[in-house]
Structure formats: C-alpha cells, structure tokens
Amino acid sequence: MSRVAVVLLMRPDLPERLFDTGRLAQVAEVVPLERAEVVLSGWGCPRLDTTVLDRAPSLRAIVHAAGGVKGHVTDACWDRGLEVSTAAGANAEPVAEYTLARILLAGKAADRMARAYRERRAAIDLLSEFPHAGNLGKTVGIVGASRIGRRVIELLEPFDLRVLVSDPYVEGSVALDELLTASDVVSLHAPSLPSTRHLLDARRLALLRDGATLINTARGALIDQDALVAELVSGRIDAVIDVTVPEVLPAGSPLYDLPNVVLTPHIAGALGVEVRRLGASALDELERYARGEPFAHPVTRADLDRIA
C-alpha cells in the first residue's frame, strides 16, 4: 500500500496527541498543501475556501480527525467534488459514556443528595427525604437520534429504564412535547440548525416534570438559555450543562452558582487519552483511501442539514 500525500491542518500540538506517529508515517507522507492529495484536519483547521483550495490542485479528499466539519469544509470543497470523512463516530463514544453516567446519577438523585449532605454536614434520612430516587422504571427522553443519541440508547439497554425518542427522521418516535412531559431525565442530542435554535423554549421547558433533569451535551443554541435560567432559579428542575451560548459564559452568569446545576466546560467529547480514538479512526480512513476503498464514515453535502 503506497503512502498518501497529506497536509496536516490542525493545531500544532495535536498530531502527537492524536496519532500513533509510527502508524502515521506508514500511512501518510506529510507534504505542503501544494502537493497534498488529502487534507488531514483537526481542531484549529482553517476554512478551506477557494483561496486555500486554489493552492492545492491535487487535493481529492478531507479526512477530519474530529467531529463536526461545518467549521472548515466550505461550499467550495463540495463544488470541487472533494470526498469528506469525519471521526464523529469515534467522538460519539465518550459523549455517550458521559451522558450515560449523568443519566444514571440523575435518576439516583446523586447531586441533590450531595448538595444536602454538604449543606447540613449531618445524617440524612435518604429513604424518607428522597423517596423517588433510583433508576428502576424511570423514563429517559432522548431528543435526537444522532450518532450520539443512538449510542446512548444502546448503552441504556441493560437498565430497567423506559426510553423515549423524539426525532423527526425516526419513524415511530414520539412528539417532543410528549417526551418532555413524560420524562424524568431529558438528554439533548439534536444538531444545531436554524430549525433547532431554541428547540427548548420557555413553553417547552415548562413542560418538564418537577424534579426532572435536563442534560445538554449537544449545542447550547438548542435551549433558550434565559428561559432555562428562569426555570433553574425557581429550583423546579435540575440541569447538567456542558455547552452554552457563548461557549465560555461571562463571569456573572448565574449558571456558575445555581446549586441545581452541574456546569462543565464542554468535557463530554474526547479528552486526554480518548483523542487517540479520533486519530485511529482518521488513519483507518486514510488506509481505505490508499486502497481505493470508499470511506467508512463519509459526509456529504446533503448530510449538513442533519448533523451538528
């Protein structure tokens, strides 16, 4: 198998974190953009517009060693017929694992119990004060049967939980309002599109059961954040928020201080040792390309209306 001429377009610290350098050297010859046949991209890749593409006459494909491609794959790429691949499937695994953990902890009322214990510093009668804690028979609502949403559903299968799914592309899924009303835990996995902006607005947030937990590891724009803050200030629901608008909240945001909020800095996706999974997926795609095989994880222009 001949090596593929690739240009690395990503943050300079990423290649050694993403790739087994020995395997990368076997699969790819790293060359300047002007000689590249494949862009091997990652976080920090510039937009591949006409100005960039005009410098790469031999370019045939883009292999992204991360999730979403909308930030750098432009119309010019599609117009030139470039093939595109993504490691979004590999990134789905840690997000799904994190989501599963948060769903189970929410059902157990673990965060509420921890808050009570920290405040009182004394014994708590858990059975009487938290009579509805536990995961047996609880209802989990999955909003969006994306790669991550589907993987979360698979990971939930061993547990005694009822799972509802709301997705306009999935036959037999329930209406979003019905899911919100019926669920003890709601987890968002829909893409951020003009049609999904503020998918959960004030009216829909009000449909959540008292004591329900809302988990967002998808995109901040899916929720009307001001309406969410109002619900959370009331203490009626809990939230696990990994993504916000803006991505880093201003220091005065009440979300930092509300006791019924777990606020994290976009940690659900691949971190630390997990990013190696993304690099391995990208190198697998490069090997397929070198053998003349189709990508296992392609992205098409038509997919952009359904992916994050």
Q: Is 3 assigned a catalytic role?
A: no
Instruction: Report DSSP state, residue 45.
Output: P
Residue 189: exposure state from Cβ atoms within 10 A (0-12, 13-18, ≥19): buried
| SS3 category, 146 | coil
Residue 193, CA atoms < 13 Å, CB-side half-sphere: 12
For residue 166, what are its two tokens?
Answer: 């709301």
d(CA 44, CA 17): 14
Long-range contacts of 252-256 (CB under 8 A, 24+ apart): 254/229, 255/229
Options 11, 47, 80, 266, the catalytic residue: 266
All residues at 6 or more sequence positions from 132 whose CB lies less than 8 Å from its CB, including other chains: 109, 211
Q: Is 219 assigned a catalytic role?
A: yes
CA 256 to chain centre: 21
Options 47, 247, 293, 301, the catalytic residue: 247
Options 64, 150, 151, 219, the catalytic residue: 219
Residue 163: beta bridge partners? Answer: 140
- Give the 3-state secondary structure percentages of the chain, helix then strand then coil, rounded to 5: 40, 15, 45
Residue 33, CA atoms < 13 Å, CB-side half-sphere: 12
Q: How far apart are the first and last CA of the chain?
A: 34
- Indicate which residues carry an active-site annotation: 219, 247, 266
